[in-house]
Structure 1
């Protein structure tokens, strides 16, 4: 095993700018052969939210590193702050909105290396 198979550096990953912030996929099934999970980071700008979306092929865990957010999960709305985590079951529609004046920064993990996101609002990345 080489370092590039097991070490994923700060500057690395697949950066995906969005209208609401940025995703950075560090470990995916496509980019890391044999990976059975997906791991990345998510930044949501103050007052912004990602689109309502779901994942038909995996569950998601979101861990808030900094900032505060409200997270819509199905019909419920939860408030999260640094140190909180939320489990998002497969096929449940959800979004997160950054509250306050600082961005939300979160770690996101999926139970599959091949994560699919279904956007339920039209244009833009989920």
Structure 2
């Protein structure tokens, strides 16, 4: 039997790389068997961010660890609500709601994201700029 992976660092798992940054999944079905949610650390270089998108059927929590940026979450009528965010801010993205994040600071921005239920991270593999960054390589938290 494999030892459970309860303690996970971003540098120890493969990351999803994109032109706008990377996501290191530190919790989820494929990482440690979590079944009700998944999540990990997102790194956004200065001036970069992920464009407007949604996760059908899933809620998301975004916690700003480092850096500063602009966060957009659409309200129930589809109107964009935009806020400047910095370390310590928790952003709630309701189920299937469109949202986007942009690093507006001079340095890197780091986020911790949680999806519930797990699964939205799998769709990221279909994006045209998706690539795998092996553990222990590339820019990490």
Alignment of 1:80-95 (within 5 A): 80-95=85-100
Q: Which structure carries more helix by proportion? A: 2
- State the 1:111 CA deviation: 1.6
* TM-score (structure 1 length as normaliser): 0.83
The whole-number CA distance in structure 2 between the counterparts of 1:49 and 1:72 is 11
Match of 1:109 among 99, 114, 129: 114
The whole-number CA distance in structure 2 between the counterparts of 1:111 and 1:58 is 5
The whole-number CA distance in structure 2 between the counterparts of 1:88 and 1:61 is 6
The whole-number CA distance in structure 2 between the counterparts of 1:112 and 1:48 is 27
Alignment of 1:6-25 (within 5 A): 6-25=6-25
The whole-number CA distance in structure 2 between the counterparts of 1:99 and 1:10 is 23
* TM-score (structure 2 length as normaliser): 0.75
The whole-number CA distance in structure 1 between the counterparts of 2:43 and 2:83 is 18
Aligned length, in residue pairs: 123
User: What do residues 14-62 of structure 1 show as CA deviations (whole Å, max 9, x unaligned)?
Assistant: 3011101111111122333352111201011111111211011211010
**Match of 2:69?**
69
**Match of 2:83?**
78
Query: Structure 1 regions of 5+ residues with no counterpart?
Result: none
Query: Structure 2 regions of 5+ residues with no counterpart?
Result: 75-79, 131-141
